[in-house]
Amino acid sequence: MVNFKTDFKDSVFYKNIFILLKGSVLAQLIPLIISPFITRLYSPKELGVLSLFASISVILGSVVNGRYEQALVLIKTENEAKHLTILSLLISLIVSFILFLFFIFFQPYLLDFFNEPDLAFWIYLIPVVVFSIGAFNTLNYYELRKKNFKKISNSEIYRSTSFAAIQLSFPLVKSGLFGLMIGKIISSLIAPFYLWKISKFEIGKVNTSLLLILAKRFIDFPKYTNFSILLNNISVNAINLLIPVLYSTSLLGLYSLMYKVLAAPFAFLGTTINQVFLEDAVRQKNELGQAYKLTKRIIIQLTLISVIFFGTAYFIVEDVFAFVFGEDWRMSGVYAKYLIPFFVFKFIASPLTSIHTAFEKQKLSFTLQLIMFVLSMGSLLYAHINLLIFEHYLLLFSFFMSIFYIFRIAIILRISKNNMS
């Protein structure tokens, strides 16, 4: 039985969650609030191109720094933390430049593959967004290590507000796709710039030997965590990349709106809980040797929230989409119903996946992500070979991903006991 009064009262863990949650909720609410205006200012095709651009950026940005920033919460001295931050930023810069050269040489082939000529100019700016993601993740964890939760929260608000402001203002000058893309690029740069300024991070004198020592010490992060996260992002975003290839960019616009709305509760709580849970799980592991009670309690609470929210959404989501976003977007609500089972279990498991970092189970995390990748790509390949319509593919994907996340919840509980070899 969950005793909410006991669990929540005077809990530093939940106080930290609520600090981050304020920024996360506002950052996610702003795009949702303006979505009814956006769907009337931009066409599904324009939103589809933006989604394609963003998906490529997210996939590459998630691994651009080798995920060395996650090791910042394991570092004990400030000098080591400073050098690990520099290492992460340096890797991000080098990889982003290599990506820029790649896009220069392979731009025609990529446009042909995605069947989207409107991406021609914007593809060269993907490395800019990729670097900004790497820089934001690095500085985010640098502040997380110092428990500056309010600063992290504010950075999310500034990023979301700037994106919304540009999206709404550019249609006044008949910008079309230009306004969407410029908004995405500028807003992606604002958050890391803000964290850089308020953190007062100075590079100063760099010890090259220490950089190499830290790179070697935490090599499991680029070896396992990096590819684990890459597989996770490909599994989640592959559909965004392949809808234009197998169907159309307009269909991607409908799907991307649905995914943004349906993922809202996860966006509100998921990242916030993940960050605070990681710090608290590491502390409990060091003090108690395990974090089982903490993990079990949060799983129960997330299950209650997930079932109530998504259970209710299933019966009203189609009509809500048609009313809020316009009748032309009703199909987005239909797609949402197909993916609700998947989101129920993803919402429970995803906020707690940082348990792998806390207990240094990067190899296991990589194996699980590989399984998810195979299931995701296998579903897509099966749908393509058998010429399944898009709705049937979503049902197949939702079924396999639901099973996977149930299994993952069990693994998370097992790891939290610290008895998993």
Top-confidence residue, 317 or 151 = 317
pLDDT of residue 400: 93
pLDDT of residue 143: 81
Contacts 24+ apart (CB under 8 A), 196-203: 196/135, 196/139, 198/151, 198/154, 199/139, 199/142, 199/143, 199/148, 199/151, 201/82, 201/85, 201/139, 201/142, 203/86
At residue 370's C-alpha, the angle toward residues 65 and 375, to 5°, is: 130
Share of the chain above pLDDT 70, in %: 88
**For residue 15, is it within any domain?**
yes
CA atoms of 73 and 168, how far apart (whole Å): 38
Lowest mean pLDDT among 169-173, 397-401, 405-409: 169-173
pLDDT of residue 53: 92
Alpha-carbon dihedral 417, 21, 182, 126, rounded to 10 degrees = -10
**For residue 205, is it within any domain?**
yes
pTM greater than 0.85 (yes/no):
no
State the chain's maximal CA–CA distance in angstroms.
61
Summarised one tens digit per residue, pLDDT across range 294-324 is 888 888 888 998 899 888 988 998 898 988 8
Share of the chain above pLDDT 90, in %: 16
Lowest mean pLDDT among 19-23, 155-159, 160-164, 387-391: 19-23
pLDDT of residue 1: 44
Lowest mean pLDDT among 138-152, 266-280, 370-384: 266-280
CA atoms of 155 and 92, how far apart (whole Å): 19
* Model confidence at 18: pLDDT above 90: no
Summarised one tens digit per residue, pLDDT across range 202-240 is 777 778 888 898 888 888 888 777 777 787 788 778 788
The answer to whether residues 247 and 390 touch, using CB atoms and an 8 Å cutoff, is yes
Q: If you average pLDDT over residues 147-161, what whole number do you get? A: 73
**For residue 54, is it within any domain?**
yes
* Model confidence at 129: pLDDT above 90: yes
CA atoms of 276 and 7, how far apart (whole Å): 15
* Model confidence at 21: pLDDT above 90: no
The conformation of residue 242, written as its DSSP 8-state character, comes to H
At residue 89's C-alpha, the angle toward residues 85 and 92, to 5°, is: 145
pLDDT of residue 79: 86
* Model confidence at 373: pLDDT above 70: yes
Summarised one tens digit per residue, pLDDT across range 233-268 is 887 787 888 888 888 888 888 888 888 888 776 666
- Mean pLDDT value across the chain: 82
Neighbours of 387 (CB within 10 A): 8
pLDDT of residue 270: 65
CA atoms of 61 and 58, how far apart (whole Å): 5
Half-sphere exposure of 223 (CA within 13 A, CB side): 11
Distances (CA, A) of 271 to 265, 267, 278, 367: 10, 7, 11, 22
Q: Give the list of residues 6+ apart from residue 319 with CB closer than 8 angstroms, or none.
A: 333
Domain count, the chain: 1
pLDDT-derived band of residue 2, with 50, 70 and 90 as boundaries?
Answer: very low
The answer to whether residues 277 and 284 touch, using CB atoms and an 8 Å cutoff, is no
Instruction: State whether residue 6 is helix, strand or coil.
Output: helix
* Model confidence at 48: pLDDT above 80: yes
**For residue 421, is it within any domain?**
no
pLDDT of residue 381: 84
Residues of the chain by 3-state class (helix, strand, coil), percent to 5:
85, 0, 15
pLDDT of residue 124: 93
Residue type, 40: R
**For residue 334, is it within any domain?**
yes
**For residue 366, is it within any domain?**
yes
**For residue 115, is it within any domain?**
yes
The answer to whether residues 318 and 330 touch, using CB atoms and an 8 Å cutoff, is yes
pLDDT-derived band of residue 271, with 50, 70 and 90 as boundaries?
Answer: low
pLDDT of residue 12: 61
Record the tokens describing residue 284, joined without a space.
Answer: 């409990």
**For residue 348, is it within any domain?**
yes
Range of the domain at 181: 4-416
